Structure 1
Amino acid sequence: MDEQREPQFTVEENAIRLLGDDGKAIAEVTFPACGEGVVDIDHTFVDPSLRGLGMAGKLMDACAHELERTGRRARPTCSYAVRWFEKHPEWERILA
C-alpha cells in the first residue's frame, strides 16, 4: 500500500475493513452491537505487511467518526481500542 495515499476503507454496520486485492480483509476493526445504541469495539487486526504504517490508528479514527455519525456509543474491550481511547481523550464523548 502506498504510504502517501489514505486507505479506502469499507464501512459496514458493525465493522470497518481494508480489503486486499483478493477481497479479503487485510486490516479491520469490528464493533458488534451490545445494547441499545452501544457497540463493543472487540477486535482490531492489521496484516503484518501493513504494520508500522499507523493503520490500526486510522481504523480506530474511522470507527470513532462512524460511531459519532450514526449516533452510537462505544464500549471498547479490545486492548488496542482501550489504549487508543486513553490516548485520544477528544473522543471520550462517544464512550458508553
Structure 2
Amino acid sequence: MTDQTPEIQLEETGSKGRYFLRGPGGAEAEMTFSKAGEHLMIIDHTEVPDAFRGQGAGLRLVTRAVEEARAAGKKIIPLCPFANAQFKRHPEWADVLKS
C-alpha cells in the first residue's frame, strides 16, 4: 500500500517562494511567500483547490513554513487571511510570529 498524502515541496526564486502539494490530475495547493531580508518571511497567499478540500492541505503548508522558520531562526508576517487565522488558532507558533 502506498501513502496517498503528497509531499510538500518548496520552490524559491530570488525573494519569492512557495510551498506546494501536487495532487491527482496535477492539481496544486500552494502557499506563497516573500522574503524580507534574511530573517523575515511574509506569507502572502494560500490557495487550495477543490481536489484538496477537507484534507488539511492549507494547514499543512502553513505548518511547514512555521517549522522551517523556527529551525532557521526566522519570523513570519502572515498577511494572507488564511495564514493569519491559523496563527490565531495556534498560539504555540507565537515564537515565529513577527509582532
Q: Same fold (TM over 0.5)?
A: yes
Corresponding residue for 1:43? 45
Corresponding residue for 1:8? 7
Gaps of 5+ in 2: none
Gaps of 5+ in 1: none
Q: Give the TM-score normalised by structure 1.
A: 0.82
Corresponding residue for 2:73? 71
The one-letter amino acid of 2:20's match is R
Mark the CA change 1:79 to 1:8 in structure 2 (over 3 Å): closer, same or farther: same
Identity between Structure 1 and Structure 2 (%):
34
Q: Which runs of 4+ in 1 moved over 4 A?
A: none
- Count of matched residue pairs: 93
